[in-house]
């Protein structure tokens, strides 16, 4: 019969593939199917934004122990799946003092910042699922 392989990716997100795929094929599919949120330190944020070659940059800022982050991040990944061609994705875990001018106003976790050509154009603070969806589609 037909069986599936489940691969765990980051925060409890599962991707299912036919069991007859070789492990290397599953890994290749995971790379293609998953969003690449580059984990960066707050001190590196300006530099990685400056090096971004995409028109848009999305920055997901959070503290690792935040339950809101654990609930909303999989939805952020799902919403952003269609934008990989023109958007770069960064994830900043605040584990110490904020070491970036771009994050000075961040007080709640999670905070999502959208940049266009490296200039901040929008921010969403501690969103509900519907707020996230409305914000992202506009």
Q: How far apart are the first and last CA of the chain?
A: 44
**pLDDT tens digit string along 93-120?**
887 766 676 777 787 889 999 999 889 9
What's the token pair of residue 120?
């901040």
Does the predicted TM-score (pTM) go above 0.75?
A: no
Task: Give the pLDDT band (50/70/90) at residue 65.
Answer: confident
**Structure tokens belonging to residue 84:** 């990989």
| Inter-CA distances, 6 with 9, 20, 21, 120, Å | 10, 12, 11, 37
Provide mean pLDDT across the span 113-138.
Answer: 86
Q: Taking residues 75-85, what's their average pLDDT? A: 78
Question: Does the pLDDT of residue 14 top 70, yes or no?
Answer: no
CA 24 to chain centre: 24
For the record, the structure tokens of 110 come out as 């999670």
Q: Give the whole-angstrom CA distance, residue 108 versus residue 32.
A: 32
Over residues 68-72, mean pLDDT: 83
């Amino acid at each position: 019969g037909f069986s599936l392989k489940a691969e765990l990716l980051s925060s409890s997100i599962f991707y299912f593939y036919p069991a007859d795929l070789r492990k290397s094929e599953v890994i290749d599919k995971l790379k293609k199917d998953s969003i690449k949120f580059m984990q960066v330190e707050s001190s590196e944020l300006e530099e990685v934004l400056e090096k971004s070659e995409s028109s848009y940059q999305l920055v997901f800022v959070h503290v690792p122990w935040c339950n809101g982050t654990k609930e909303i991040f999989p939805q952020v990944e799902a919403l952003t799946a269609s934008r990989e061609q023109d958007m770069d994705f960064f994830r900043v875990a605040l584990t110490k003092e904020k070491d970036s001018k771009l994050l000075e106003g961040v007080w709640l976790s999670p905070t999502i910042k959208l940049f266009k050509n490296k200039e901040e154009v929008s921010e969403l603070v501690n969103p509900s699922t519907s707020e996230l969806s409305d914000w992202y589609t506009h």
